[in-house]
């Protein structure tokens, strides 16, 4: 492993601390960064995410991805976990932990509705999961995001609470914001990754592409991740340090969600007969969330200073360190849950 990979948790903690320090020590930095938007999408964060996602997508063998899409077990398990189990679990946890905080609860539920299409590529790569499976599931989530986000928002924020005799939270989702987030955070790096492989293999050959080009661009994924973490924490540093109790209350349902969803997905995929690499791809895709979309929706609907927007922002601040920890859990648990499986990574 490279120095960057080996000490990733340390670098992430440093990036989080640096972001908090910048947000507190540089007056107006958060507002200045927040103002750099196009159609509600933060340009600084978009740049970081696209740099972060490019290397994993450049590694994808798109000829193999077509074969993955034909595996019904992978597709059925992932769709059920992402679009039935995940939102329902987050709804239940939000009501359990935030029963007296309707605005924070709404923000947490919206985080649960936004299925992962970005950082999961990094977690998948670090845990030696099947990158072709991950790429296909990310693409499927992107399509369902456009089709189902508004429907699920109405169901979990208005319809279901009414049926259960609970107060609802009417909200109007912007289809344009959803489509824009999907195109920017997935479409651009996906197109760049596919173009790199096609051009690289045709001009220099597959061996050069995989042995020379990919190792050269791979560090960009973690550099982009650390850059994005610094930005996220600097944008909300003042709110986070000023409202520690609110952060702690929102963190509880999110922490429970990430851990429960990962474990449930990993064991469900294993029970369905999937190997380590594919099971881990399914688990990270189910456990992660599209925080960029959740934040954009919360800010666009309730305002940048609202409690739902704060809850949406806290989402990645909890998700990132937890899922980094789950990368190491997956690498440790792989040989134990999948003994004799050829896709289990060798201890690193």
Could you tell me where the DSSP H helices lie in the chain?
A: 3-6, 8-25, 29-35, 43-59, 62-69, 72-80, 86-97, 102-113, 120-126, 131-154, 160-163, 175-182, 188-204, 206-208, 214-217, 219-242, 244-271, 276-287, 291-302, 307-337
Query: 116-140: per-residue pLDDT in tens?
Result: 877 788 888 889 899 889 988 988 8
pLDDT digits (tens, 9 = 90+) for 82-96: 999 999 999 999 999
Residue 207 scores a pLDDT above 50: yes
Residues 6+ apart with CB under 8 A from 193: 53, 54, 56, 57, 58, 59, 60
Comparing C-alpha atoms, which of 82, 118, 84, 90 is closest to residue 106?
Answer: 90
pLDDT at site 347: 45
Interval 28-57: pLDDT, tens: 766 676 667 666 567 787 788 788 888 888
Q: What is the mean pLDDT of residues 220-234?
A: 83
Chain segment 245-297, per-residue pLDDT in tens: 888 999 999 999 999 999 999 999 999 999 999 999 999 999 998 877 787 77
pLDDT reported for residue 237: 67
Residue 9 makes CB contacts below 8 A (sequence gap 6+) with: 321, 324, 325
CA 23 from centroid of its chain's CA atoms: 23
Whether residue 19 is predicted with pLDDT greater than 60 in this model: the reply is yes
Domain ranges of the chain: 7-332
CA 51 distance to own-chain centroid: 15
Percent of the chain with pLDDT over 90: 32
Please check the confidence at residue 219 and state whether its pLDDT lies above 80.
yes
Place of tokens 């934040």: 295
CA distance 340 to 118: 31
Q: What CATH architecture does domain 7-332 belong to?
A: Up-down Bundle (1.20)
Helix boundaries (H) for 127-174: 131-154, 160-163
Is the Cα torsion angle 195, 196, 199, 202 positive or negative in sign? negative
Q: Which residue has the tokens 């925080």?
A: 291
């Amino acid at each position: 492993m490279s120095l960057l990979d080996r000490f990733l948790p340390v670098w992430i903690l440093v990036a989080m601390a640096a972001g908090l320090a910048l947000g507190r020590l540089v007056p107006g930095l958060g507002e200045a960064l927040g103002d750099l938007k196009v159609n509600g999408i933060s340009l600084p964060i978009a740049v970081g995410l696209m740099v972060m996602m490019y290397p994993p997508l450049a590694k994808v063998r798109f000829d193999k991805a077509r074969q993955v899409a034909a595996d019904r077990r992978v597709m059925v398990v992932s769709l059920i976990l992402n679009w039935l189990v995940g939102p329902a679990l987050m709804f239940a946890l939000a009501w359990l932990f935030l029963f007296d905080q309707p605005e924070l609860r709404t923000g947490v539920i919206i985080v649960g509705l936004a299925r992962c299409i970005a950082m999961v590529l990094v977690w998948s790569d670090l845990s030696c999961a099947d990158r072709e499976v991950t790429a296909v599931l990310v693409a499927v989530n992107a399509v369902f995001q456009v089709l189902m986000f508004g429907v699920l928002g109405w169901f979990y924020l208005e319809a279901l609470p009414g049926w259960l005799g609970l107060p609802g939270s009417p909200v109007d989702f912007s289809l344009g914001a959803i489509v824009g987030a999907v195109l920017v955070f997935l479409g651009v790096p996906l197109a760049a990754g596919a173009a790199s492989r096609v051009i690289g293999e045709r001009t220099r050959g597959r061996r050069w592409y995989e042995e020379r080009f990919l190792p050269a661009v791979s560090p960009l994924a973690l550099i982009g991740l650390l850059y994005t973490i610094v930005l996220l924490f600097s944008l909300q540093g003042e709110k986070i340090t000023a409202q520690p109790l609110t952060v702690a209350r929102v963190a509880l349902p999110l922490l429970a969600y990430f851990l429960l969803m990962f474990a449930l997905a990993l064991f469900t995929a294993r029970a369905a007969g999937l190997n380590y690499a594919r099971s881990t791809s399914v688990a990270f895709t189910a456990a992660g969330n599209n925080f960029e979309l959740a934040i954009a929706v919360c800010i666009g609907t309730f305002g940048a200073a609202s409690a739902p927007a704060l809850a949406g922002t806290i989402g990645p601040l909890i998700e990132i360190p937890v899922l980094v920890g789950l990368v190491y859990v997956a690498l440790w648990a792989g040989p134990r849950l999948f003994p004799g499986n050829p896709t289990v990574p060798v201890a690193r």
